[in-house]
């Protein structure tokens, strides 16, 4: 109720305190995961597939369910911090911090997997769990931290996205 009152009263800033437990690293997301979601990855038919493309998971024109990302956030854009944080929160919502391999973020695009909500409408992106982009995303989810800006952040090594996919 306090949240509703604060917003009605014209509060510009709302602070949300985490309940505790592990979370994911924002810096590692920005360095290693968002570039995967923005990259053109070879699909099984050889054509490039991009998660953030219009008609897929683009925040404005996407049809990819609840997972939406801003395409190509640009550090020079004044909205960059907001866009990268929104992308991080969207990806985090599809991560399973208890059993990373069961994360919808990993299962949906994995070849041969029928996830909870069915198959990935955008097709298979990762041929198997050894795919460099799959591994980078799995590692990000596996390395839970105490806070999204934890000192343990910034340890990921970005994959060469040109080696990802089929």
Better-scored residue on pLDDT, 91 or 150: 91
The pTM assigned to this predicted structure is: 0.84
R_g over Cα of the chain: 17
pLDDT digits (tens, 9 = 90+) for 85-132: 999 999 999 999 999 999 999 999 999 887 666 678 888 899 999 999
pLDDT digits (tens, 9 = 90+) for 29-48: 999 999 999 999 998 888 89
What percent of the chain is predicted at pLDDT more than 90? 61
Q: Domain limits of the chain?
A: 20-163
């Amino acid at each position: 109720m306090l949240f509703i009152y604060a917003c009605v009263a014209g509060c510009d800033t709302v602070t949300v305190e985490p309940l505790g437990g592990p979370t994911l690293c924002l810096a590692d997301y920005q360095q290693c995961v968002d570039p995967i979601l923005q990259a053109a990855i070879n699909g099984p038919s050889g054509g490039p597939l991009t998660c953030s493309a219009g008609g897929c998971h683009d925040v404005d024109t996407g049809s990819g369910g609840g997972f939406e990302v801003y395409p190509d956030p640009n550090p020079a854009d004044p909205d960059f911090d907001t866009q990268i944080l929104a992308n991080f929160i969207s990806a985090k919502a599809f991560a399973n911090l208890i059993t990373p391999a069961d994360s919808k973020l990993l299962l949906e695009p994995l070849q041969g997997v029928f996830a909870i909500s069915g198959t990935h409408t955008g097709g298979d992106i990762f041929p198997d769990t050894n795919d460099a982009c799959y591994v980078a995303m799995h590692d990000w989810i596996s390395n839970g931290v105490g806070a999204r800006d934890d000192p343990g952040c910034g340890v990921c090594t970005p994959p060469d996205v040109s080696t990802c996919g089929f």
